[in-house]
Amino acid sequence: MSRWKGLPEHLDPRVRQLVVRLRRVKDHSGLSLRQLAAKTGYSTSSWERYLSGRSLPPREAVEAMARLGGDDPTRLLALHEVAAQAWGRTTERHGPPAGTDPPRPHARALRITLIAGSVALVLAVAASVLLAVRLTDGESKVAAAPPASATTTAPGAPRGSERPRYTCKAERIDGRWYAGNSRTRTAVLAKGHAGPEVAEAQCLLREADLSPGPVDGIFGPHTERAVRDLQKRSGLVVDGIIGPHTWKALRA
pLDDT of 42 above 60: yes
Instruction: Pick 171-251's CATH classification: 3.40.50.720, 3.30.70.1140, 1.10.101.10, 1.10.10.10.
Output: 1.10.101.10
How far, in Å, CA of 105 to CA of 12, rounded? 21
Does the model's pTM come out above 0.85?
no
> Which CATH architecture group holds 13-94?
Orthogonal Bundle (1.10)
Tell me what the mean pLDDT of segment 23-49 comes to: 92
Q: Which of 162-176, 220-234, 237-251 has the lowest mean pLDDT?
A: 162-176
Alpha helices by DSSP H, 95-220: 107-144, 196-207
pLDDT of 144 above 50: no
What is the gyration radius of the CA atoms in the chain, in angstroms? 25
Tell me what the mean pLDDT of segment 38-55 comes to: 92
Tell me what the mean pLDDT of segment 121-139 comes to: 67
Q: What is the pLDDT of residue 185?
A: 93
CB 76, CB 21: distance < 8 Å: yes
Q: What is the pLDDT of residue 8?
A: 86
How far, in Å, CA of 50 to CA of 56, rounded? 6
Nearest to 59 by CA among 42, 36, 44: 42
Q: Which of 55-69, 77-91, 152-166, 195-209 has the lowest mean pLDDT?
A: 152-166
147: confidence class by pLDDT, cuts 50, 70, 90: very low
Q: 116 vs 250, which has greater pLDDT? A: 250
Q: What is the pLDDT of residue 103?
A: 43
Average model confidence (pLDDT) across the chain: 81
Model pLDDT for residues 148-178, shown as the tens digit of each residue: 443 333 344 344 456 789 999 989 999 999 9
120: confidence class by pLDDT, cuts 50, 70, 90: confident
Tell me what the mean pLDDT of segment 214-240 comes to: 95
How far, in Å, CA of 121 to CA of 131, rounded? 15
Q: Where are the domains of the chain?
A: 13-94, 171-251
